[in-house]
């Protein structure tokens, strides 16, 4: 049996397309997608929005178990719409050679780029919110990402939230 060697390839993630989409739809929703409102103080449209941005950046949807990430009219996978699931989907895909989106967790803010994703973990160790990096600023000589998001629509806001969270996770996105 013959196996073709496939060397690691450079990411085909189009960060500019992802960011342009995020900027266009940060303060409003794209009518081509369902809007997922906040219900009983939880959930919301944040992950649906980030998934749309990833797709706009060239990420291909996947319906192959166990790595499913897809949207179709008024139906979607859990990883498309739930922050905790998208976080683990992206991290798990990082070790798989396919065209689905991948996320490598990093701690050095200087390595972040436009189109990377920020996840927020609560005090129960659950990822409850996510946003996409759409700009950068320098504060006291330190480069910090600005994010755009849904659930509470924001465009180019600081990634530091006023509400309580335990930890921020930064994922470098590739395809």
Give domain status of residue 2, yes or no: no
Give domain status of residue 169, yes or no: yes
* Number of residues assigned to the chain: 175
* Tally of domains in the chain: 1
Helix-helix angle 46-56:83-93, to 10 degrees: 30
Give domain status of residue 83, yes or no: yes
Token pair 């006023």: residue: 162
Give domain status of residue 138, yes or no: yes
CATH of the domain at 76: 3.90.1720
Give the Cα separation of 151 and 59 in Å (integer).
22
For residue 52, the enclosing domain spans 15-174
pLDDT at 5 over 60: no
Give domain status of residue 6, yes or no: no
Higher pLDDT, 41 or 48: 48
Give the Cα separation of 132 and 171 in Å (integer).
10
Give domain status of residue 3, yes or no: no
Q: What does the buried/exposed string (b/e) look like for 91-113 if buried means 16 or more CB atoms within 10 Å of the residue's CB?
A: bebbeeeeebbbbeeeeeeeebe
* Tens of pLDDT, residues 67-104: 899 999 889 999 999 999 999 999 998 777 677 899 99
Give domain status of residue 5, yes or no: no
Cβ–Cβ under 8 Å, residues 22 and 148: yes
pLDDT score for 4? 38
């Amino acid at each position: 049996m013959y196996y073709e060697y496939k060397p690691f390839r450079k990411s085909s993630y189009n960060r500019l397309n992802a960011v342009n989409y995020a900027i266009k739809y940060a303060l409003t929703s794209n009518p081509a997608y369902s809007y997922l409102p906040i219900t009983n103080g939880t959930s919301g449209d944040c992950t649906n929005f980030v998934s749309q941005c990833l797709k706009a950046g060239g990420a291909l949807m996947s319906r192959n178990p166990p790595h499913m990430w897809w949207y179709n009219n008024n139906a979607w996978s859990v990883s498309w719409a739930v922050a905790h699931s998208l976080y683990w989907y992206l991290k798990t895909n990082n070790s798989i050679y396919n065209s689905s989106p991948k996320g490598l967790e990093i701690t050095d803010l200087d390595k972040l780029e436009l189109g990377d994703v920020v996840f927020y973990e609560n005090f129960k160790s659950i990822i409850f919110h996510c946003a996409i990096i759409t700009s950068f600023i320098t504060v006291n000589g330190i480069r910090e990402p600005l994010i755009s998001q849904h659930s509470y629509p924001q465009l180019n806001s600081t990634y530091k939230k006023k509400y309580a969270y335990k930890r921020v996770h930064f994922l470098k996105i590739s395809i």
